[in-house]
Amino acid sequence: MWPRIAFPLLTLIIIFASITMALSIECQQRPENVNPRALRRDGLIPATLYGHNGAESISLVVDHKTAVTMLRSVTVKETPIEVKIPHLAWEGEAVVQEIQCHPWRRNLYHLAFFAGKK
């Protein structure tokens, strides 16, 4: 026989398993003529957004802590992410196209996003 408390816990686990979290990240436009190493020292990761307007791309920066947290729950080329660029007033869905990091230290170097349809 199951104890009386097991059924509510089982129901609670099923409810939490069915909830999907929407991922979103806020980016800023990368300043021109700034060395990527200097950005990384300041806690920012260089990133690029492709496919938002044909063959054009936007150079961005993302906060390191935010990027690492987001990447824990992302599958490359599969998981849709809501990307917001307030400076350019652009917002849309994208997937992480490429992650560049150090081979054994796992320091994050660069992210590439590919925009889907708005």
Dihedral sign computed on CA atoms, order 32, 93, 66, 75:
negative
pTM comes to 0.77
Inter-residue contact 84 to 68 (CB < 8 Å):
no
Mean of per-residue pLDDT scores for the chain: 83
pLDDT tens digits for range 42-65: 999 999 999 988 888 999 999 999
Q: Above 70 in pLDDT, residue 97?
A: yes
Q: CA 118 to CA 90: how far, in whole Å?
A: 10
Residue among 62, 40, 63 nearest 113 (CA): 62
Check pLDDT > 70 for residue 90: yes
User: What integer is the mean pLDDT of 84-89?
Assistant: 90
